[in-house]
Amino acid sequence: MSNPSADPMVMTSRRDGVLVITLNRPHVRNAIDQGLADAVDTALTTLDNDPGLEVGILTGTGGHFCSGMDLKAFPTEGVPRVADRGLAGLTRAHRAKPLIAAVEGAAVAGGFELALACDLITAADTAFFALPEVTRGLVASEGGAIRLPRRLPHHLAMEMLLTASPLPASDAACHGLVNQLTGEGKALDAAFALAARVQANSPHAIRATRQVVNATRGLDDDAAFTVQDPITAPVFGTAIATEGVRAFCEKRTPDWTA
């Protein structure tokens, strides 16, 4: 086991326009204290602000994704939020670029809420998800109680929230909560492959699409179109859109930097 005081709480690496953000507190299954929360927030800011980065991947060391809030730190630190961006600077943040959760082992409590805040999820078939907050006198208040009922059948989500029942990754995949199920140790590889599929498309169109999805959630159609149109209208008049259409007609790969 590595010395927890000697290693960075969060490690980052870059590969082909992808920023990998790795939670690195394996001795506590990557539980989130304020130090780790601040480090994740810094990494996410780098992802959004660096024009050389297109997609982020969030994962963990030691065979686990994240066990949630560090309960030993809770009495003195409280919930490890960052400003108005929520748990670890993610669960309430308005991010500009796609983020993929690559889940091995446990993604529970706040760890599951981090995954739910991501755009896409890959998971090993040995991974599992859970929201055990009620067993500790707490509430899944960083997106669990809000997002989970939108992603799963209502009664299954309520069972997880009210009884703390875990959900195996294989079952999560059956219900569409996981984009790609992999063998153990392969979730990160699958996340890179998924990132490459995202990167093949226009960054401007991806950004606008994410913005529409997030801005129109919960609205009726009329209200949603009213919110959507100012976001999408500028996209259609860009040189990027012209390049995409021309490349399709010419049966070639678009040059999104043109």
* Ranges of H-type helices in the chain: 34-49, 74-77, 110-116, 144-151, 154-163, 169-174, 187-199, 203-216, 221-236, 239-249
**Cα separation of 57 and 47, whole Å?**
10
Active-site residue identified among 54, 104, 133, 142: 133
**Cα separation of 188 and 58, whole Å?**
9
Q: Is 104 a catalytic residue?
A: no
Contact 60, 30 (CB under 8 A): yes
Active-site residue identified among 54, 77, 104, 113: 113
Longest dimension (CA), the chain: 62
Contact 66, 26 (CB under 8 A): no
User: What is the helix, strand, coil percentage profile of the chain, to 5?
Assistant: 45, 15, 40
Return the closest-CA partner of residue 173 out of 123, 130, 132: 123
235: left (phi over 0), alpha (psi -120 to 50) or beta: alpha
Q: Is 54 a catalytic residue?
A: no
Q: How far apart are the first and last CA of the chain?
A: 49
Residue 156 amino acid letter:
L
Residue listed under structure tokens 């796609």: 98
Residue 157 amino acid letter:
A
Residues designated as active site:
113, 133
